[in-house]
Amino acid sequence: GDQVPFYGLQQSGIITPPQDFLCFAAFAIRSKKLADVRALFQKWTAAAAEMTQGRMIGEWNEQHNSPPSDTGEAEGLSPSKVTITFGVGPSFFDDRFGLSGKRPAELRDLPAFNGDQLSEDWCGGDIGIQVCANDMQVAFHAIRNLARIARGIAVLIWTQEGFQRTAGADPTAQTPRNLLGFKDGTGNPDVTDKKAMAKTVWVQQIEGPAWMENGSYMVTRRIRMRLEVWDRTQLSEQEATFGRYRSSGAPLGASKEFDPLGLDRVREDGEPVIPVNSHVRLAHGDGSVQILRRSYSYSSGIDRRTGQMDSGLFFVSYQRSIAKQFIPMQQRLSQSDKLNEYIVHVGSAVFACFPGVREGGYIGETLF
């Protein structure tokens, strides 16, 4: 019912159908001892397994001489399909823990892309944890308690909350819409297709490193939207920007959301139906390389300097290779995507998400 299993060959929260809310957290490790890091991941594993079953963390003692081991705000709440997905960033592999030899060759900070305006406030991290749940309080509780357990060893350096429509608002579970009003996720590969997931998402034995087999690489990009500018743009212009209709989500010139893009189609005047600088054409490329997008909308108040809303897309994607999948795609988009008039990338991080863990084991055991 309301639980997503925590244990398994692969971590949950990757090909799990997106829940309603996101709480993302990046940590910096303050301890210099690998033993501390290992102990932390062991404690996190136990806590994550309990929380995904909707149980209180640790001993539930009624004696009041020390703080309770669970902060309590999720008591009595259903697990709400909470998933907790752990990864480590490039900085985890500097010389501190003697693990630099195990860094996957491609786990590096992303190259600078055209138009980036990155702020330290949403970049990097030794550890990244993605918590998703159908209830925000449940998701927040998870991050809060993971941070509490880390005290003295790792500290939070940035967080991001996200949302999409809830199942209550959309019982038929249509493709959710981003804050520009367009359906977002239509072109994703099918997560129930094992072959497609092996090709697109899960690191395979042949490519290594061995500790990453059945893991996946996560990219996060905090992308602010210039909503005020977008809202003054004509619908036909908005649709040309994406190459799809806003209402139905169908490719321009087609009638249904899941109709093929049909990039070869031309209008009477000889111009392509899906414009050359449209987002879907550039993202699609020749169609041979895909990623799995698992993004959430965010709204974080207003930017006091400009008076504009700080809202947009907390873009999250999973891929088997950042170098072969995300980077070439984002290079094409950053060069010529018409969408760039309306967005700016302000945060960036990459994490190697571990394979899943069996009961009795702990997250990260294949690495340390």
Residues contributing to the site for ligand HEM (CB under 6 A)? 178, 180, 182-187, 221, 223, 225, 242, 244, 261, 279-280, 283-284, 291, 312-313, 315, 326, 329-330, 333, 343
Least distance (Å) from ligand HEM to the CB of residue 140? 24
Task: State which residue, 93 or 315, has the beta carbon closest to ligand HEM.
Answer: 315
For residue 188, give both structure tokens: 């994703």
Least distance (Å) from ligand HEM to the CB of residue 362? 32
Task: State which residue, 209 or 272, has the beta carbon closest to ligand HEM.
Answer: 272
Residue 323 phi/psi, 5-degree rounding, is: -65, -35
Least distance (Å) from ligand HEM to the CB of residue 164? 12
The residue type found at 62 is E
For CA atoms 134, 300, 219, 275, the dihedral sign is positive
For CA atoms 328, 193, 320, 167, the dihedral sign is positive
Task: State which residue, 141 or 183, has the beta carbon closest to ligand HEM.
Answer: 183
Instruction: Please state, in angstroms and rounded to a whole number, the distance separating the CA atoms of residues 322 and 128.
Output: 16
Task: State which residue, 129 or 339, has the beta carbon closest to ligand HEM.
Answer: 339
Task: State which residue, 118 or 180, has the beta carbon closest to ligand HEM.
Answer: 180
Least distance (Å) from ligand HEM to the CB of residue 3? 28
Least distance (Å) from ligand HEM to the CB of residue 123? 15
Task: State which residue, 140 or 326, has the beta carbon closest to ligand HEM.
Answer: 326
Residues 100, 93: contact at Cβ < 8 Å? yes
Task: State which residue, 162 or 187, has the beta carbon closest to ligand HEM.
Answer: 187
Residue nearest to ligand HEM (CB): 187
Task: State which residue, 152 or 287, has the beta carbon closest to ligand HEM.
Answer: 287
Least distance (Å) from ligand HEM to the CB of residue 242? 5
Least distance (Å) from ligand HEM to the CB of residue 134? 21
> Tokens 């891929």 appear where?
319
Least distance (Å) from ligand HEM to the CB of residue 329? 4
CB atoms within 10 A of CB 152: 10
Taking alpha carbons only, the member of 305, 339, 353, 303 closest to residue 115 is: 339
Instruction: Please state, in angstroms and rounded to a whole number, the distance separating the CA atoms of residues 176 and 295.
Output: 10
The residue type found at 9 is L
| Type and span of the H or E element at 220 | strand 216-225
Q: How many CA atoms lie within 13 A of 148 on its CB side?
A: 16
Instruction: Please state, in angstroms and rounded to a whole number, the distance separating the CA atoms of residues 43 and 363.
Output: 10
Helix, strand, or coil (residue 156): strand
